[in-house]
Amino acid sequence: MKTVYDFTVKDRLGNDVSLADYRGKVLLIVNTATGCGFTPHYEPLEAMYRDLKEQGFEILDFPCNQFANQAPGDADEIHRFCTLKFGTEFPQFKKIDVNGENAEPLFAFLATEKPFAGFGKGLKNAALSKFADMNNKQFGDKAYIKWNFTKFLIDCEGRVLARFEPTADMKDVRNAVTEELKK
């Protein structure tokens, strides 16, 4: 059975990183953007990381510019923004595509394991859904991720447990991580 440990990704400097290096840890893998309405998610993500990293938790941050060009800039600019504005310390990887022909294989795998199930109810979520559908039409059947700050919870054996859309309450994300760390 395939797990996230079967993938190698590039760190923000372009070096290969085997996700097998994270074996035994609970992971939250996130596609991010610096100019999105959900960019403030960096704050609760960093708080979660600081509070839980000693318990075997890691956040893996993958910037992506495929959603309304909300992650402009190179790796250094994105990293500076995140560290200066939000004090992020969790690992940040190379900016990637999460959709289309050049989609990072890790994200295609994650989305296949836990497909999109909607943004939730309410006018704001309906508006995001409509906007995301228009944006992602260009990727056809390779529109794996619907928007920035989609989060995947991975257990300590590399299996995909849950998918949290950017509209999910960050308290629910933290609770799921905390519960998984107790196992």
Is 64 an annotated catalytic residue? no
C-alpha separations of 161 from 29, 71, 176, 179 in Å = 11, 27, 10, 12
Which residue type sits at 39?
A: T
Sequence-ordered alpha helix ranges (H) in the chain: 42-52, 75-86, 105-113, 123-136, 170-181
Please count the structural domains in the chain: 1
- Selecting among 36, 64, 82, 156, the annotated active-site residue is 36
pLDDT tens digit sequence for 122-140: 878 888 888 888 888 889 8
Please tell me the least confidently modeled range out of 37-51, 88-102, 133-147, 151-165: 133-147
The CATH number of whichever domain residue 63 belongs to comes to 3.40.30.10
Tracing tokens 């910037």 back to the chain, one arrives at 63
pLDDT tens digit sequence for 82-122: 898 899 999 999 999 999 999 999 999 999 999 999 998 88
Long-range pairs for 132-136: beta carbons < 8 A, 24 or more residues apart: 132/67, 135/66, 135/67, 135/68, 136/99
